[in-house]
Amino acid sequence: MTTPPKSHLFYQSRLRRPMLDQARGVYMWDLDGKRYLDGSSGAMVCNIGHSNEHVLEAMRRQMEKSTFGYRLHFETEPAERLAEKTAALAPDGMDKVFFVSGGSEAVESAIKLARQNAIALGEAQRWKVISRQPSYHGSTLGALALTGYAPLSAAFDPMMRPMPKIPAPRAYLDHLDASDEATGHHYADMLEARIRDEGPETVLAFIVEPVGGASTGALVPPAGYMRRIREICTKYGVLLIHDEVMSGGGRTGKFFAAEHWDVAPDILAISKGFAAGYVPLGAMVAKNEIVENVLDTGGFLHGYTYAGNPLACAAGVAVLDEIERENLMENATTVGAELKAGLNALMERYEIIGDVRGLGLFLAFELVCDRDTLEPLPRELNAYNALVDIAYDKGLIIYSRRTRGGYDGDHFLVCPPMISTSAHVGEILDTLDASLREFQETTVN
């Protein structure tokens, strides 16, 4: 047993896993020497794999120079370089980068910048941020108010200002053709209806995960959806915020997932794959005029002590360099196609797989009771934990959730690092196959 019998640590639950010893590439080892394939890149974080020597070397070099420079006292070269690189990756006209230490902070920053922009424009009556159900935007109270996932938010409802929600597109559950633009427009038009109901003059922003993360399990929007959403936001003067905390960083095959639909937001949030787990880092990127409006009218009333930390930014620069040097986004597309084909092949053999979805190496499958009705497995089966535990025992890490709100369903994210090879894909699929077989034999029957 590698977990200490008594620990002073606590997290969300009493779940305790073995002690991590080391991690290299796509593999991790516990203190007993057992090897695991990191099939979810942690929580869709370690996009370039573990212990990358170029990133470690860049961090060592920066550590020898300085590890902290408070922003009221110094500018730092790593922060300047990372901001320049990030702006170059962002859509045209989004050249302003604000560093934070994680996804929730990036989302908080986006909402507060949007709000101050409205005030600067003399539109202080705009404060509502519409989001989707289900969705996940973070655990701090501001980001949680936007999160459409009641198990996490309900306890805190009295402490938060309720924010309007519209349903996330669920074409596969509604038996609609996701490749038909009419389907995308059907779901996007729910946003227009909601803006009108709320009173357009009160709506500040709409926040959307371009490819859904843990909340929906790699939900890819139907054709026409993202573009229509952009048009509606522009029509009503509502700022469009893309939460690319999980979908950004390259694993869909593009650095920002919204590039797949050639749509640009007004503000975006990024974290996770941005520094790939080497350090806590995130950023909010905004249109130049929004930032100018806010800075011209008293400044941005927001900030964090560790924003732009030089060590974190040096790691971020090295991660972006590595993605480019090793063509990891191209690899995510190629290897992702192999993995998706393999998951589809598993779906042909296992009736309980109701859907396989995702882009690049941002992939998921969903378990159901009945493939035709897509009725979820009974909640008592606790399938989302059971299958993860079986795979874990066999040395494969995957990430799961039971979606709530709109529909109930167990989905499993299969998102190995972007350095994965065909051999790794084979190993993942073989272990999943064995795990699904055992799950069927021991849990479903």
Chain residues in the site for ligand PLP (CB under 6 A) = 43, 102-104, 107, 136-138, 209, 213-214, 243, 245-246, 271
| Least distance to ligand PLP, CB of residue 294, Å | 22
Collect all residues with Cβ–Cβ distance below 8 Å to 256 and sequence separation of at least 6.
Answer: 89, 90, 91, 210, 242, 244, 247, 248, 268, 270
Q: What are phi and psi of 323, to 5 degrees?
A: -60, -40
CA distance 103 to 402: 21
CB nearer to ligand PLP: pick between 93 and 280: 280
Q: Are 398 and 356 in contact (CB under 8 A)?
A: no
Q: What are phi and psi of 148, to 5 degrees?
A: -95, 75
Residue 221, preceding peptide bond in cis (omega within 30° of 0): no
CB nearer to ligand PLP: pick between 119 and 152: 152
| Least distance to ligand PLP, CB of residue 244, Å | 8
| Least distance to ligand PLP, CB of residue 306, Å | 13
CB nearer to ligand PLP: pick between 46 and 377: 46
Task: Give the three-class secondary structure for 70.
Answer: coil
CA distance 207 to 133: 11
| Least distance to ligand PLP, CB of residue 24, Å | 24
CA distance 366 to 413: 9
* Residue with smallest beta-carbon separation from ligand PLP: 103
CB nearer to ligand PLP: pick between 104 and 133: 104
Biggest alpha carbon–alpha carbon distance for the chain: 65
Task: Give which of 204, 194, 232 is closest to 119, Cα–Cα.
Answer: 204
| Least distance to ligand PLP, CB of residue 427, Å | 26
| Least distance to ligand PLP, CB of residue 213, Å | 4
Instruction: Please give the structure tokens belonging to residue 46.
Output: 């370690």
CB nearer to ligand PLP: pick between 104 and 252: 104
CB nearer to ligand PLP: pick between 271 and 435: 271
